[in-house]
Amino acid sequence: MAKHNYYPETLKIQIIERLLAGESGSSLREEFNIPGRGTIYKWKQWYLKGEIHRLKASSGRPLEQEASIYQTLQDREKELELLKKFFSKERW
């Protein structure tokens, strides 16, 4: 089996739907030459949680743009918490 294959989002969804329809994960892995045993099940988990956008990435890692937006959001939330603490102490 080859590693680092690219599977388009639409193909991943078709594989997941076949898995949900009752086909075995190992037979689908063989058919589509998917190296990792847990790969299909990870795709299934994301699919069932509604995280279909994660299937667009070539690996399980978040897309770079998505990761930077998430980091920016976390930074803003930390700033907001600090400001809340500062202003709550100042008023009392």
pLDDT by residue (tens digit) across 4-43? 678 889 999 999 999 999 999 999 999 999 888 899 999 9
pTM value surpassing 0.75:
no
Mean pLDDT on 38-59: 87
CA distances from 90 to 68, 78, 79, 81 (A): 33, 19, 16, 14
Q: What is the pLDDT of residue 65?
A: 64
Cα separation, 33 vs 5, in Å, equals 8
Please return the burial class of 39, using the count of CB atoms within 10 Å of its CB with bins 0-12, 13-18 and 19+. buried
